[in-house]
Structure 1
Amino acid sequence: MALSEHEQRLLDQLEQQLHADDPKFAHSMASDTRKSMSTRRLVIGSLITIAGILVLLAGIVYQLTIVGVVGFLIMGAGVYFATTKSRQPDAGQPEGRPSKTPSPGKSGFMSSLEDKWDERKRDQT
């Protein structure tokens, strides 16, 4: 279901206010394909997990506890690698750059939402 022009304008306005008031939060909520789950990491992690299972089974077959423990650790590392997101730094922002923190008190975004809420309450009564 498509948004009406009015709803689209309101959504754009809210998005702009969010970016202006809290850019760090807005950036973290934006969809970024570089930080999402990649198929490559999933495949490599799955292969590492399978290798860990094979080492674990070899430890069981040869009754070597240390080999089984190593296989279990390899298996856990594979699952961890497959389920975590890559940590590539953004191209536009250097790694060591401090982020701007919002000032204490009410932000413009929240105060405008509260004003709209109060206006709706007054209109209903």
Structure 2
Amino acid sequence: MPLSDHEQRMLDQIESALYAEDPKFASSVRGGNLRTPSTRRRLQGAALFVAGLAMLVSGVAFKATMIGSFPILSVFGFIIMFGGVVFAITGPRTSGKGAAPADTAAPRQKRAKGGGSFTSRMEDRFRRRFDE
């Protein structure tokens, strides 16, 4: 359920007060650090996956790559495959330094009208309690 305009204003005031009081803490707890991976990063992850798959299959196919009866090349291939997938689906890490709260804020969406009379009454009650 989206926030009302009043609730959104209050949340923005709390956020700006937090940034003014302790910007280092505010930037460390801000949840916007996850980024989507670029196309280049996805291609690199896919290449790692294919290389790991080739190592996995060749480790099973060729007996020379085994240490005793343990397929060491296949294990390394699986680890590389897993790392390639993780690399492809995660975005680069960001430090978050120097970013103001207004820079990363997404545009606010308007609340859908037609919530019915019950929701409007509840919002009115909340506003009255909050204004007192």
Provide TM-score, normalisation by structure 1: 0.53
1:59 aligns with 2:59: yes
- 1:86 aligned residue: 92
- 1:75 aligned residue: 81
Q: Which amino acid aligns with 1:37?
A: T
CA deviation after TM superposition for structure 1 residue 86, in Å? 1.4
- 2:9 aligned residue: 9
Secondary structure at the aligned position of 2:87 is classed as helix
The alignment of Structure 1 onto Structure 2 pairs a total of residues equal to 93
Q: Give 5+ residue unaligned stretches, structure 2.
A: 67-71, 100-128
Q: Which amino acid aligns with 2:85?
A: V
Deviations 1:13-54 (A, max 9, x none): 11112212332332231525xx51314333421331232012
- 1:48 aligned residue: 48
Distance 1:21 1:37, change over 3 A: same
In structure 1, how many angstroms separate the alpha carbons of the residues matched to 2:15 and 2:97? 22
In structure 2, how many angstroms separate the alpha carbons of the residues matched to 1:70 and 1:58? 11
Secondary structure at the aligned position of 2:92 is classed as coil
What is the Cα-based RMSD across aligned positions, in Å?
3.2
In structure 2, how many angstroms separate the alpha carbons of the residues matched to 1:3 and 1:87? 30
Provide TM-score, normalisation by structure 2: 0.51
- Over the matched positions of the two proteins, sequence identity in percent amounts to 42
